[in-house]
Amino acid sequence: MRHIVWLRQELRTADNPALYTASQGGHEVAPVFVWPGGDAMPGAASRWWLHGSLLALSTSLEKLGSRLVILTGEAARVLPELARDWKADAVFWSRVYDPEGRAEEDAVEQALRQQGTECRIYAGANHLLNPADVWNKSGGPFKVFTPFYKHASTLFVDKPLPCPKTLVKPKTPLKSTPLAGLGLEPEIDWADGLRNAWCPGEAAAAARLDAFIGEDLKDYGVERDIPGHDGTSKLSPHLHFGQLSPRSVYYAIRGQCDTSKDKALYNEAEVFLRQLYWREFAHHLLHHFPHMVDKPMYPEYEKFPWRKDKAQLRTWQRGRTGYPIVDAGMRELWTTGWMHNRVRMIAGSFLVKDLLLPWQSGAAWFWDTLVDADKANNTLGWQWVGGCGPDAAPYFRIFNPVLQSKRFDPKGLYIKHWVPELARLQGNALHAPWTASPEELRAAGVTLGNEYPQPMVDHGGARERALMAYNGMKSVK
């Protein structure tokens, strides 16, 4: 028999239900990736990561005796064509839960069944739980994280499947587009920072998980909020592209706790696993409320009087706002394709509340620049900080960037790394350079408006403006 495995967001050989099941029985297996191009393309940083991921996956498949087949075009056209021409008996794949992905696989399934090709579809391969199977007591979807977590964390998580021992490649060679032909890498090479920070692929994901469990997990509860320390797992891009399954992470963490029998480690593990369930919650929401990608969860927020200011948006994107913690985050993002989660909240709050620029603009920028750009997580994060989504911080809860900086980067390690022109400032002046005396600025070699910009806005005044806009929105009938 001949089996096609359509690989989408599970670019791995281990714990891949579609690949594992298709390989059983010694059948010929064609692992296929379809590149749609056009409007369906991910952002530039994600495309760079995808190139490395496909290269690594191709190597892994070759070690198992197979090869990756790359097709271009609409999946609903090219997959049925391949199945028909190769006389495949079945096509295997794992479900995704974003609106575009669901529409795509529905079209593929319809086209395959019309021509008599069997479809084998697996749910939840990139989740701890199937997002469509978690319901509240009323039989509806959850809208608040804590009740979701309390329920979801009681549900059994399937154990990960092993990697197939071998794959039987097609006896008849199948046409495949060269990876370089997809144009995923930038024409003008700006990716040095990404290459220095990351190594895409299944093996690198496993190594990162091992390092996190062995070194960082024990201090995760405290270190995860300190952007100047390397205290987070940095597994998010590997999880997004499916080089590591969430249940593999889940059982690796549980296994480490069981082995050590250290109660303190168990507590740290629970803090980390809670973050995995936040990821589950994001996908649960997007599955049930697909309009959230570009519209607020709660329709009354569509009346919010957002400003339009391309110049200010560009200043924020470039990390030239005059608020060091915000600028550090935006520069880290541009250089490495990643931003510390605490700083994502600070930078996001600054955009939507200090500048009154729409959260959709921030989401679009993150989509283009993050290597872990995940539609569900990105949408939930921006709706949360904008106060317009499920379980969101109330709109009137506005982050003060200076206080956040002093609290979470007290020694200025993060700021000094990403905003080096301020590295010689100390104390309050480092977090709020406009408060520094002329002598402090001169000693540090900083002239505001030259080496480093004046603040775009006064936070106190911006806060009042945001609250007035919020109250005005509520009064609109």
Indicate whether 262 pLDDT > 90. Answer: no
In a domain, 223, yes or no: yes
Looking at the fold, whether 258 and 354 belong to one and the same domain comes out as no
Looking at the fold, whether 379 and 445 belong to one and the same domain comes out as yes
In a domain, 171, yes or no: no
Looking at the fold, whether 145 and 220 belong to one and the same domain comes out as yes
**pLDDT band at 40, cuts 50/70/90?**
low
Last-in-domain residue among 267, 288, 309: 288
Last-in-domain residue among 97, 124, 151: 124
Q: Supply the pLDDT for residue 263.
A: 84
Q: Supply the pLDDT for residue 128.
A: 96
Q: Report the 3 state secondary structure along 387-453.
A: CCCCCCCCCCCCCCHHHHHHHHCCCCHHHHHHCHHHCCCCHHHHHCHHHCCHHHHHHHCCCECCCEC
Total-model pTM:
0.94
- Pairwise CA distance, residues 141 & 132, whole Å: 9
Domain range spanning residue 319?
299-475
Phi, psi of 6 (to 5 degrees): -85, 110
In the chain, the number of structural domains is 3
Beta strands in 103-237 (DSSP E): 118-122
Looking at the fold, whether 321 and 403 belong to one and the same domain comes out as yes
In a domain, 444, yes or no: yes
Q: Please, are residues 158 and 247 in contact by the beta-carbon 8 Å criterion? A: yes
Looking at the fold, whether 433 and 306 belong to one and the same domain comes out as yes
Q: Supply the pLDDT for residue 472.
A: 87
Looking at the fold, whether 267 and 405 belong to one and the same domain comes out as no
Beta bridge partners of 30: 4
The pLDDT tens digits of the residues spanning 296-313 come to: 988 888 999 999 999 999
Looking at the fold, whether 335 and 303 belong to one and the same domain comes out as yes
In a domain, 194, yes or no: no
Lowest-confidence pick of 131-145, 176-190, 391-405, 425-439: 391-405
Looking at the fold, whether 364 and 341 belong to one and the same domain comes out as yes
Looking at the fold, whether 387 and 268 belong to one and the same domain comes out as no
Quickly count: other Cβ atoms within 10 Å of residue 63's Cβ.
12
In a domain, 167, yes or no: no
Indicate whether 124 pLDDT > 80. Answer: no
Q: Return the closest-CA partner of residue 384 out of 355, 344, 325.
A: 344
Looking at the fold, whether 367 and 466 belong to one and the same domain comes out as yes
Looking at the fold, whether 89 and 131 belong to one and the same domain comes out as no
CATH code of residue 77 = 3.40.50.620
Last-in-domain residue among 233, 267, 288: 288
Looking at the fold, whether 271 and 403 belong to one and the same domain comes out as no
CATH code of residue 307 = 1.10.579.10
